[in-house]
Amino acid sequence: MVRLSALVCARDGEADLAACLRSLSFCDEIVVVLERGAERAREAARRAGAQVVDGIFPLPSQARAAGAELCSGDWILEVEPDEQIDRALAWEIRAALQMRPEGDWFELPVDNYVGETRVRHGWTGAISIDQAVRLSRRGVKSWRPGRVENAVLAGRSAGALTGAIRRLVGRDVGQLVERLQRESDRLALDLADADQAGSLARALLGGLGAMASSYLLRAGWREGRLGLLVALLSALHPVLVQMRAAELAAAGRAAAAEPAPLRRAAAAG
């Protein structure tokens, strides 16, 4: 039998973590990576019989790497706390692995839901995705340092599965907007660290292009008001990222320019 590990990186207060872990019962082991002190998430992981990696991870890439290191399966299935694997996809994953694929990773579709409504069209990556490499042989996937996932794959593709991961993007429109804010902040921090905020004009042009791609090329118009909202948020994403990255970079330069005694005094205060 091919052994399969599930890898979940979670924070405390993840409302859907327990349901996510229950959907992974078909795996041979579940590894959950937690920030130190995430007691509620730890209890959910304990009830699911998961192994827990507990520590302080400044970057999400470090958390994933720590979890992958603990996984002992031949293959690793990565799942987010707001996602679930239904029974049909579980069977498909098991069947695909038992056929001893020649490739090293599979792409899995992602079905995005806002509440109970599935939004099929319009996703550009600003808030969510509709397909991702989530199933790979142990050791073939690594992550570049950063808050936004930037994976490196070795080997070759084994193709795509037909069953989809179910992702709850938000319970309502408010949570959808909150997700945009979180994703924008993560990318802005990475760009500020690299001093690559870019220009507002370029961000505005990128936003217009993202809206056209979401609403027209990716057929967001077929989703009614939710499709329009996804397109508007896709347009706002690069503008938020640029403005926040520029703000953070300016604050960093100002702090670096302060005389050393002032920096020590500010740190002590």
Q: What is the pLDDT of residues 44-70, one digit of tens each?
A: 889 889 999 888 888 888 999 999 999
User: Does 51 lie in the same domain as 136?
Assistant: yes
User: Does 62 lie in the same domain as 19?
Assistant: yes
Question: Which pLDDT score, from 0 to 100, does residue 4 have?
Answer: 96
Residue 155 is given by DSSP the state: S
Domain count across the chain = 2
Beta carbons within 10 angstroms of residue 35's beta carbon = 15
**Percent of the chain beyond pLDDT 70?**
95
The CA-CA-CA angle for residues 133, 139, 143, to 5°, reads 60
**Is 229 a domain residue?**
yes
> What does the pLDDT average to over 171-200?
91
Question: Which pLDDT score, from 0 to 100, does residue 14 have?
Answer: 65
d(CA 185, CA 21): 27
User: Does 79 lie in the same domain as 195?
Assistant: no
Confidence category of residue 265, pLDDT binned at 50, 70, 90: low
Residue 146 is given by DSSP the state: S
Bigger pLDDT: 17 vs 263: 17
Q: Flag whether pLDDT at 40 surpasses 70.
A: yes
Find the length of the chain.
269
**Is 74 a domain residue?**
yes
Q: Flag whether pLDDT at 269 surpasses 60.
A: no
pTM: 0.88
d(CA 183, CA 174): 15
**Is 99 a domain residue?**
yes
Question: Which pLDDT score, from 0 to 100, does residue 184 have?
Answer: 93
Range of the domain at 247: 172-260
User: Does 212 lie in the same domain as 136?
Assistant: no
Q: Flag whether pLDDT at 268 surpasses 70.
A: no
d(CA 241, CA 239): 5
Question: Which pLDDT score, from 0 to 100, does residue 224 have?
Answer: 95
Bigger pLDDT: 262 vs 131: 131
User: Does 63 lie in the same domain as 42?
Assistant: yes
Confidence category of residue 267, pLDDT binned at 50, 70, 90: low
Residue 2 is given by DSSP the state: -
Per the DSSP assignment, residues forming a β-bridge with 32 are 8, 52
Which residues 6+ apart lie within 8 Å of 250 measured at CB? none
Question: Which pLDDT score, from 0 to 100, does residue 246 have?
Answer: 92
Per the DSSP assignment, residues forming a β-bridge with 170 are 114
3-state secondary structure (DSSP) of residue 121: coil
Confidence category of residue 16, pLDDT binned at 50, 70, 90: confident
**Is 122 a domain residue?**
no
